[in-house]
């Protein structure tokens, strides 16, 4: 577990986290898509990393990341897979609305960057443009992500972003 400028502690997902994280995921819709418990567990089990932010031992946020070669039908994952051979794709990141402003998202990404340091993996994500998510776009830009493409998927449109790999520490 690590600690950063945020009061949150970050650790890997544990099965007991599921019900609370599922509720937080639902509260974050439409920034992320709705998931059933079975779907979330399937994603966690396929993930490269699933990091959980804790305050007082209670989950308050999550970052779910895939590497190349995952069996994931997401059009966003496929778009990135077609363009990068070695990457860490943030499929979703969310923080409890009542805990916003405490740098919890920064702490989740800091731990991901630390865990991926020296692997040569670039960091990728997408941010909704429709429905708009300007807060996420500002957040990811502040962390060093840059726009690399866009896609219009009908009801939604997204901006794809990339950040360079972390050097070995």
Q: Please give the pLDDT value at position 30.
A: 82
| Residues 47, 162: Cα–Cα separation, whole Å | 18
**168 located within any domain:** no
* Domain total of the chain: 1
**111 located within any domain:** yes
> Torsion angle of alpha carbons 81, 69, 23, 155, nearest 10°?
30
Q: Which structural domain range is residue 11 located in?
A: 2-163
As given in the structure block, the two tokens for residue 113 are 């960057």
Tens digit of each residue's pLDDT (9 = 90 or more) over 97-128: 999 899 999 999 999 999 999 999 999 999 99
| Residues 85, 91: Cα–Cα separation, whole Å | 17
Q: Please give the pLDDT value at position 6.
A: 84
Exposed, middle or buried, 117 (CB in 10 Å: 0-12/13-18/19+)? middle
Tens digit of each residue's pLDDT (9 = 90 or more) over 135-162: 999 999 999 999 999 999 888 899 999 9
More confident residue, 29 or 3: 29
Q: Average the pLDDT over 87-100 and give the result.
A: 94
Q: Average the pLDDT over 35-43 and give the result.
A: 93
Tell which residue, 134, 91, 132, 88, has the closest CA to residue 111.
88
Tell which residue, 167, 148, 163, has the closest CA to residue 65.
163
Q: What is the largest CA-CA distance in the chain?
A: 42
**169 located within any domain:** no
Look at residue 1 and tell me whether its pLDDT is greater than 70. Answer: no
Q: Please give the pLDDT value at position 4.
A: 52
**48 located within any domain:** yes
**29 located within any domain:** yes
| Residues 79, 88: Cα–Cα separation, whole Å | 13
Q: Where residue 153 sits, what CATH number does that domain have?
A: 3.40.630.30
pTM for the whole thing?
0.93
CB-CB contact of 11 with 51 (8 Å): yes
Q: Please give the pLDDT value at position 3.
A: 41
| Residues 88, 112: Cα–Cα separation, whole Å | 9
């Amino acid at each position: 577990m690590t600690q950063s400028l945020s009061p949150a502690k970050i650790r890997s997902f544990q099965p007991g986290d599921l019900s609370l994280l599922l509720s937080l995921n639902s509260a974050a819709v439409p920034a992320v898509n709705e998931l059933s418990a079975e779907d979330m567990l399937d994603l966690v089990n396929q993930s490269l990393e699933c990091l959980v932010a804790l305050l007082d031992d209670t989950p308050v946020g999550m970052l779910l990341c895939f590497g190349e070669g995952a069996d994931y039908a997401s059009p966003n994952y496929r778009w990135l897979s077609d363009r990068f051979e070695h990457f860490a794709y943030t499929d979703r990141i969310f923080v409890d609305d009542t805990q916003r402003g405490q740098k919890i998202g920064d702490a989740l990404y800091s731990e991901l960057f630390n865990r991926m340091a020296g692997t040569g993996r670039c960091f990728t994500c997408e941010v909704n443009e429709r429905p708009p998510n300007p807060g996420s776009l500002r957040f990811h830009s502040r962390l060093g992500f840059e726009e690399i493409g866009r896609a219009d998927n009908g009801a939604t449109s997204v901006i794809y972003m990339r950040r360079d790999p972390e050097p070995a520490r």
